[in-house]
């Protein structure tokens, strides 16, 4: 969609005064949904904001008292740009996109989700499970987001100990047992976990590549809610402890199992939540500029004008088939580039549950004979 707002031209030889900036806003901005940017002296983006009434919101910056954040931002601004969008939902998505692109210094929201953490399954010869702050496009698998870093870390320790997955650094040399012809074998593990049999010790040739990757697969399937191998191990140990009247140890094993179960249940719930956020969302727009958002597993896969003519209906039906027709694995892992948008979309419908009344199954738009 082409932005409706016009960039404000500023002569490079002289920075504009507050009064000049305010006059430009008054003359050109409209009271409709939109996104705006404050630029610094070198053209850098200082701040990105949104509003359902852009003109009113921008003029409020000039009324801010000294010491307020808004006054500080406009005090450093040498240029203000804005663009109008059809709706508040469109403004939310556009604001997120621009903040992720420019990382403005005055924006806090969307730059880093500090309250969340993720479980990362690395892509290495001997993969590891790690707790990380954010996901990146490094082809690893990410599970989450979670809250409560220490809780997740404790549960992950249980999982790694049960399946004997390594937790050493990425630089640790890996020498599987089936690589003995390539590397001299050293039976001494490089950490105590290997000595205590809490790690398969691929660093010391104590397992084959297949054995280690089998354990990794059990971890992956557990996190995706498709296997209970770690819990079965703990329950078997609980039964042995109880038969030996080691009730305190059995209770400890029970608590460890509960920690793992809570993490797994969160991921299964996340998967369910993502599956419910798969529909065609009709958003009425300013001046009749309605939009269809094709949501699949919580992220916007396509934005289309609401179809009115027969040709537009045919084009919409084709795009709906493309988005919803392709198979997609039902995993608890979230592609890194979609995480921020999924959190935003989920929050939008949580705060505005009435908006679900305009959520329709994709099939509604596949019949091109349907009237507008």
- pLDDT at position 334 is 66
Q: Topology of domain 18-102, per CATH?
A: GIY-YIG endonuclease (3.40.1440)
* Residue entry with tokens 């998967």: 271
24 in Cβ contact with 5 (< 8 Å): no
Given CA atoms 147, 148, 152, 155 in this order, what sign does their dihedral have? negative
- pLDDT at position 369 is 61
- pLDDT at position 180 is 61
222 in Cβ contact with 121 (< 8 Å): no
Q: What is the CA radius of gyration of the chain?
A: 27
What's the CA gap between 256 and 265, in Å, rounded? 14
Task: Provide the pairing of β-strand 79-84 with 34-39.
Answer: antiparallel
- pLDDT at position 13 is 53
- pLDDT at position 81 is 97
- pLDDT at position 370 is 46
Which residues have C-beta within 8 Å of that of residue 135, sequence separation ≥ 6? 118, 120, 142, 334, 336, 339
Which among 224, 225, 216, 222 is positioned nearest to 234, based on CA atoms?
222
CA 217-220-222 angle, to 5 degrees, is 110
What's the CA gap between 251 and 239, in Å, rounded? 11
Residues shown for the chain: 372
SS3 content of the chain, % helix, strand, coil (to 5): 45, 15, 40
Range list for CATH 3.40.1440.10 in the chain: 18-102
296 in Cβ contact with 313 (< 8 Å): no
The DSSP code for 115 is: T
pLDDT tens, position by position, for the chain (372 residues)?
444 454 444 444 578 899 999 999 999 999 999 999 999 999 999 999 999 999 999 999 999 999 999 999 999 999 999 999 999 999 999 999 999 999 999 998 765 545 678 889 999 999 999 999 877 778 888 887 787 888 889 888 888 988 899 999 999 988 888 876 655 555 677 788 877 888 999 988 889 999 999 999 999 988 887 778 888 888 888 889 888 888 887 888 888 888 888 888 877 777 777 779 999 999 999 999 999 999 998 999 999 999 999 999 999 999 999 999 988 765 556 666 777 888 899 889 989 999 999 999 999 999 876 444
What's the CA gap between 245 and 343, in Å, rounded? 47
Say if pTM beats, i.e. exceeds, 0.75. no
């Amino acid at each position: 969609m082409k932005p409706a707002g016009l960039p404000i031209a500023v002569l490079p030889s002289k920075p504009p005064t507050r009064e000049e900036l305010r006059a430009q806003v008054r003359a050109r901005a409209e009271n409709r949904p939109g996104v705006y940017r404050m630029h610094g002296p070198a053209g850098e983006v200082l701040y990105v904001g949104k509003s359902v009434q852009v003109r009113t919101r921008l003029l409020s910056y000039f009324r801010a008292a000294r010491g307020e954040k808004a006054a500080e931002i406009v005090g450093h601004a040498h240029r203000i740009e804005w663009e109008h969008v059809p709706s508040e939902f469109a403004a939310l998505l556009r604001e997120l996109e621009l903040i992720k692109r420019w990382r403005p210094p005055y924006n806090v929201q969307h730059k880093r989700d500090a309250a969340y953490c993720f479980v990362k399954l690395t892509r290495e010869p001997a993969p590891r499970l790690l707790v990380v702050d954010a996901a990146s496009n490094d082809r690893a698998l990410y599970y989450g987001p979670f809250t409560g870093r220490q809780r997740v870390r404790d549960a992950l320790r249980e999982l790694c100990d049960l399946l004997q997955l390594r937790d050493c650094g990425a630089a640790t040399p890996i020498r599987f047992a089936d690589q003995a012809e390539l590397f001299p074998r050293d039976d001494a593990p490089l950490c105590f976990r290997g000595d205590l049999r809490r790690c398969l010790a691929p660093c010391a040739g104590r397992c084959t590549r297949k054995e280690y990757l089998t354990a990794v697969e059990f971890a992956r399937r557990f996190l995706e809610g498709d296997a209970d191998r770690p819990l079965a191990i703990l329950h078997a140990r609980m039964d042995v402890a109880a038969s030996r009247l080691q009730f305190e140890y059995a209770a400890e094993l029970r608590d460890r199992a509960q920690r793992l179960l809570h993490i797994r249940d969160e991921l299964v719930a996340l998967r369910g939540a993502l599956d419910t956020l798969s529909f065609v969302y009709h958003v009425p727009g300013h001046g009749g500029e309605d939009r269809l958002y094709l949501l699949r597993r919580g992220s916007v896969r396509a934005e289309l004008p609401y179809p009115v003519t027969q040709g537009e209906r045919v084009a919409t039906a084709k795009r709906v088939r493309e988005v919803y027709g392709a198979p997609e694995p039902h995993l608890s892992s979230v592609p890194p580039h979609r995480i921020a948008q999924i959190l935003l979309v989920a929050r939008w419908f949580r705060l505005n549950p009435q908006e679900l009344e305009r959520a329709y199954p994709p099939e509604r738009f596949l019949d091109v004979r349907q009237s507008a």
